[in-house]
Amino acid sequence: MPEDEVLLRARERAAELGCVPVLPGSGAVLRLLAAVTQARSVVEIGTGAGISGVWLLRGMPADGVLTTIDVEVENQRAAKEAFAEAGFAAKQVRTISGRAMDVLPRLTDGVYDLVLVDADKSEYAAYIEEALRMLRPGGVLAVDNALWHDRVPDPTRRDETTTAIREVAKHLREDDRVIPALLPSGDGLLLAVRR
């Protein structure tokens, strides 16, 4: 799916900041998930330059709120620029600066429609546990970079990041709380619906 000028400019800002945003295929799936779940309450772990946030907001109803968490204030500044360029009101986005594992435990249990995990890969397992606590029944967990540049399916790849992502996928497959699926969109989207 081709990206418009808003997303292309956000991609330029991401490159300047050294962010690795979701690819267009993943963005399209995130927009679809937000629309199909009528997600009014979404959490994004890893703001980046706002690309995934724009995709999510474009699928959410106008009264929805995206809560986006990032440790880098510059990233959030770039994201706010993207959100404004895309025409979203300030009240549609709540940005929280800080380490995700300091912020997530303060968010409410069982009320979020969708949680996107796209931050520090070494923390994915901890983020996912928090996400599952926060999701309502029927809520969707989305984990970006689930294929990690096609390294995850290659058993010879044993670096720390690849192994961590592989373990997360295995854990979700065995977790009775969710119904998981791996989509090869973008760099891989691992999805799970909260039972």
The per-residue pLDDT for 83 is: 98
* Mean model confidence pLDDT for the chain: 97
Topology (CATH) of 5-194: Rossmann fold (3.40.50)
d(CA 172, CA 142): 11
The per-residue pLDDT for 41 is: 98
Residue pLDDT, tens place only, 59-92: 999 999 999 999 999 999 999 999 999 999 999 9
Residue 153 has pLDDT above 80, yes or no: yes
Residue pLDDT, tens place only, 157-193: 999 999 999 999 999 999 999 999 999 999 999 999 9
127 in Cβ contact with 104 (< 8 Å): yes
- Domain locations along the chain: 5-194
Pairing of strands 189-194, 41-45: unpaired
Residue 2 has pLDDT above 90, yes or no: no
33 in Cβ contact with 44 (< 8 Å): no
The per-residue pLDDT for 159 is: 96
d(CA 182, CA 41): 23
